[in-house]
Amino acid sequence: MKAEPCTYVIFGATGNLSRIKLMPALYHLDAANRLPEGTRILAVGRRPWDQKKWLEEARDMILAKSKDDFDAAVFQRFSERLHYHQGDIEQPQCYTQLAELLNEKNNFPKNIAFYLSISPSDFGIVMEMLSSQQLFDEEYGWRRVIIEKPFGYDLDSAQALQKRISHYLKEEQIYRIDHYLGKGTVQNVLVFRFANVMLEPLWNRHYIDHIQITHSEDIGIGTRGDYYNSAGAMRDMLQSHLLQLMTLVAMEPPASMEAESLRDEKVKVLKSIRPIPKEAVHAHAFRAQYSQGRINGENVKGYLQEDHIPANSITETYAALKLYVDNWRWRGVPFYLRTGKRMAKGQSAISICFRHPPLQFFRDTQIQCMNPNWVLLGIQPEECIRIEMTVKEPGLAMRTRTSSLDASFRQQDEKVTDAYEDLLLDVMEGDRSLFLRFDEVEHAWRIVDPILQTWAIERDHIATYPAGSWGPTDCRRLFDKESHAWRSSLTPEECKYAE
């Protein structure tokens, strides 16, 4: 598919997401000559800026993220695409003037993508106002709306939001963005699985013991206190990003990379996840909150000392979940999903542990135990694929050790594009394969809703873990102590004393 010239209308263009992601991504697309000729970017914001001030701000946004590869000539070309519209998104006048601006002849392409980089609570009013000005009318060009997560606060609110926006838009016009799916290393999961025939026969319950999907951050909540305290780790990361990663690992081969084929298989995984009844929540989920600690040699505050956080908050900054996919491929294989802030290290990875090999062949040797094979898919910061194999140690005795087969995701001189660059280009091309369909969102909420409802009424206590640690040790109760998952959850020091 070829990208067509369009007008990107960005609501919340002066906000944090636009500053650190959207404007730099659009600039890089222009630098790579991927923005079609005639494409325009119309920023909508409350601040009383004129065109000159907006171009200064846009330049600062791009310099802050792209100082090393900033090109003044490219920015000059890019700046000719930029326009600013000052208005309050809660006032009808903002949309009347916006419609007049977009209808000016020869100034803006008639294909329009509306990017809602705003609070989810404002989605409805913006949709209603745009519709009242016939700005969703596709008589002269396509209309697409990009919606940032979270899509709803729980299942009921997600369904209510969907019902409201479906009054104005068809499903094929809605692009629910999950930037995690735009990462090259995440897309590489599909290539790794389905382009290597040696792996597919082993990718099932007969050979795999368990799968871990982990996202840890060493940063805290920063200036997002108000948002984060109402969301927490389960809503912010696990319900969206990590469940999406799980679908890519567990899905059946789709008929093609076409959007509906891919999303159909992802939905099948979500539908097959064993429901967690409220009485079983504690056997399948764990939450905790970071306390004071040290990271990179510096003292850091605990969650309750962060700005805009109530002293009695029980919002989780760490969430772990054990799930089972009840289908022929994965029956009985546990999936462990974990995410946390203020951890010892920031990293994202998918770890597949294979079953323990039988030892009868080695029974007359010095080998008393043998580590299982692992496949590690590093997402960030280490972008790689690693297969851990057992090999014989050099020497006369029959002893073994683990050796790694590493395949880097990219060559040293190759540059990885930002996820938003891929996704913004996909919108222009009409490729929805990396965007979420509503039934994906709905089934993801069905999985976590019983947990969130149980946690909401348990307000007397929440476990803690020191900032700079690998998380709460009590989380190990989710693991079977006899399993490889339990042992792999231990720190290197604890492994010495594990029974």
CA–CA distance, 360 with 17 (Å, rounded to integer):
57
Of all helices (H) and strands (E), which one includes residue 145? strand 143-148
CA distance 324 to 160: 28
Give the CA distances from residue 360 to residues 208, 364, 483, in Å, rounded to whole numbers and listed in that order.
20, 8, 20
Token output for 274: 């064993």
Query: Sign of the C-alpha dihedral, residues 412, 418, 421, 423?
Result: positive
SS3 494: helix
* E strand spans, 14-89: 40-45, 82-86
What are 261's two structure tokens? 């084929």
Q: Do residues 148 and 116 make contact, with C-beta atoms less than 8 angstroms apart? A: yes
241 classed as catalytic: yes
How crowded is the C-beta side of 420, counted as CA atoms within 13 Å?
16
Q: Which of 218, 190, 184, 487 is nearest to 347 (CA)?
A: 218
User: Quick one: which of 326, 372, 333, 318 has its CA closest to 480?
Assistant: 333
Give me the amino acid identity at 392.
Answer: K
What does the alpha-carbon distance between residue 38 and residue 100 come to, in Å, rounded to a whole number?
Answer: 19
Convert 63-94 to b/e letters by CB count within 10 Å (16 or more is b): eebbeeeeeeebbeebbebbbbbbbebeeeeb
- Catalytic pick among 28, 179, 215, 241: 241
341 by Cβ neighbours in 10 Å (0-12 / 13-18 / 19+) ranks as buried
Whether 429 contacts 254, CB under 8 Å? no
Dihedral (CA of 185, 190, 194, 200) sign? positive
Catalytic residues: 241
